[in-house]
């Protein structure tokens, strides 16, 4: 559903966007449209919907509210709405307006309002801008004056960028983040000043005298609001990504970002239990019953034993304590799914004293302490299973995923429980941390 707007404004903008996307029937230059601020905002949102459906769907979730210029010098968001200074928007081109709208929506979709924790507010706000802006630039959007960007931070999250920032740096975000109060640290946040790392994109606009009274600055989020909005924005991001993928307009960078952000939110224990349960071979059996039970053959449920292979990466990146925690979780699940487990350890090669086998009734535990070896090679366990002619119902590999993978995916399901950010070429990846 579109945000609350004048219906005629939306109809005009959608008509213009349709005309520009459907030549040769009509040709309209959106930059020459009337300078009415609502029209420009609506046109920018409509163009995002057509050209960047992922970002456009997120923007449509933010009601746009004209703010009092006394507190809002550019734009702002509190994850509930997008606030704008009309003088600032008036000074931007349509392409720059698209960037500004997408910038605010991504702050919300990435839950920046819920991730600051103990960090300094101003440095955190700068880190968030340095994380968001490269995504928009790589997606082809044109930044407004004052947009922070450092290429060395491309592809990094706000948490990764934050410790790299100098405490005495005078950079400021181009907008205001109104999630919480920390006035001592604000130092004019969102004022549009020229920091050392800002893009040089022309003259800064929107710094004139207030032209009227808009909405007052909203109060900070309560803890309950923050939790509710975190769930809402995660759902919105997943929905927007699905729509964009169906339209074939979700770029690889955005797709990887969505995958990274959505996947870790489900507890790995829950996902592990789900996959182990799904692998359980419960099936119906039509064996003829005793004559005492009659002539009808009714299906009955029979459970077969599940064969699970567990491989531990002992190259040194995973501690014994983490291995024990992982094995204890499998031990708590295996009796429920009647799993017989074969355990092996591998760094560049398989452990000499392995494997270790555990029946359903036996406690699944670490057989000994493992000390980190040299490199990591994921081929030996798969080669060994093939040589033994063993085809488990499920293989679970506990690793940092930093190493050489087999060129071919085996004929049985593989679950990678990954500590770190490395990707896997095939199988199902579950993020541990």
- Structural domain boundaries in the chain: 7-264, 267-431
Three-state SS at 47: helix
pLDDT the model gives residue 278? 65
With tokens 């507010």, the residue in question is 121
From CA 126, how far away is CA 49, in angstroms rounded? 27
User: How many other C-beta atoms lie within 10 A of the C-beta of residue 264?
Assistant: 13
DSSP string, 238-270: HHHHHHHHHTT---HHHHHHHHHHHGGGS-HHH
pLDDT the model gives residue 292? 54
Query: Which neighbouring-strand residues pair with 306?
Result: 339
DSSP-derived letter for residue 362 is S
From CA 73, how far away is CA 210, in angstroms rounded? 9
pLDDT the model gives residue 176? 92
CATH topology of domain 267-431: Rossmann fold (3.40.50)
DSSP string, 205-238: ---S---S--BPPPPPPPHHHHHHHHHHHHHHHH
The list of the chain residues with pLDDT below 70 reads 1-35, 182-212, 251-253, 256-257, 259-304, 335-336, 372-374, 433
pLDDT the model gives residue 289? 53
Rg (CA), the chain: 28
pLDDT the model gives residue 47? 93
DSSP string, 273-301: HHHHHHHS-EEEE-----GGG-S----EE
φ, ψ at 89 (rounded to 5°): -65, -40
From CA 381, how far away is CA 145, in angstroms rounded? 55
Query: Which neighbouring-strand residues pair with 415?
Result: 396, 428
From CA 173, how far away is CA 175, in angstroms rounded? 5
**Cα end-to-end distance, the chain, whole Å:** 36
pLDDT the model gives residue 368? 79
pLDDT the model gives residue 305? 72
pLDDT the model gives residue 363? 81
pLDDT the model gives residue 372? 64
Asked if residues 129 and 110 have their Cβ atoms less than 8 Å apart, the reply is no
């Amino acid at each position: 559903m579109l945000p609350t707007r004048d219906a005629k404004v939306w109809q005009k903008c959608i008509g213009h966007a349709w005309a520009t996307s459907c030549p040769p029937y009509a040709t309209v230059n959106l930059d020459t449209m009337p300078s009415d601020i609502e029209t420009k905002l609506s046109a920018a949102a409509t163009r995002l919907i057509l050209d960047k459906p992922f970002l456009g769907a997120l923007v449509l979730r933010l009601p746009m509210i004209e703010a009092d210029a006394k507190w809002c010098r550019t734009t702002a968001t509190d994850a509930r709405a997008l606030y704008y200074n009309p003088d600032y928007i008036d000074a931007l081109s349509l392409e720059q307006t698209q960037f500004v709208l997408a910038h605010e929506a991504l702050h919300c979709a990435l839950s920046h309002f819920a991730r600051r924790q103990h960090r300094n507010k101003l440095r955190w706000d700068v880190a968030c801008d340095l994380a968001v802006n490269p995504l928009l630039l790589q997606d082809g959007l044109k930044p407004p004056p004052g947009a922070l960007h450092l290429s060395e931070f491309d592809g990094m999250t706000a948490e990764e960028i934050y410790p790299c920032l100098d405490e005495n740096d005078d950079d400021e975000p181009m907008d205001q983040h109104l999630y919480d109060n920390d006035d001592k640290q604000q130092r004019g946040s969102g004022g549009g000043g020229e920091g050392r790392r800002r893009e040089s994109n022309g003259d800064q606009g929107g710094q004139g005298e207030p032209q009227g009274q808009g909405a007052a600055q909203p109060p900070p989020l309560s803890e309950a609001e923050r939790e509710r909005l975190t769930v809402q924005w995660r759902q919105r991001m997943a929905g927007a990504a699905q729509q964009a993928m169906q339209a074939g307009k979700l770029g690889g960078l955005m797709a990887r970002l969505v995958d990274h952000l959505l996947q870790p939110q489900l507890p790995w224990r829950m996902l592990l239990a789900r996959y182990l349960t799904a692998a359980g071979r419960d099936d119906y059996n039509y064996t003829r019953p005793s004559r005492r039970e009659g002539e009808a053959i009714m299906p009955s449920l029979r459970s077969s034993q599940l064969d699970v292979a567990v491989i531990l990466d002992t190259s040194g990146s995973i501690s014994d304590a983490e291995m024990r925690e992982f094995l204890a979780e499998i031990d708590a699940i295996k009796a429920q799914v009647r799993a017989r487990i074969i355990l092996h350890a591998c760094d560049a090669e398989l452990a000499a004293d392995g494997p270790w086998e555990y029946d359903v009734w036996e406690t699944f535990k670490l057989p000994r302490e493992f000390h980190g070896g040299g490199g990591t090679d994921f081929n030996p366990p798969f080669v060994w299973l093939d040589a033994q002619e063993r085809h488990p119902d499920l293989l679970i590999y506990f690793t940092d995923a930093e190493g050489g993978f087999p060129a071919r995916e085996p004929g049985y399901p593989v679950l990678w429980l990954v500590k770190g950010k490395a990707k896997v070429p095939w199988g199902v990846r579950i993020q541990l941390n």
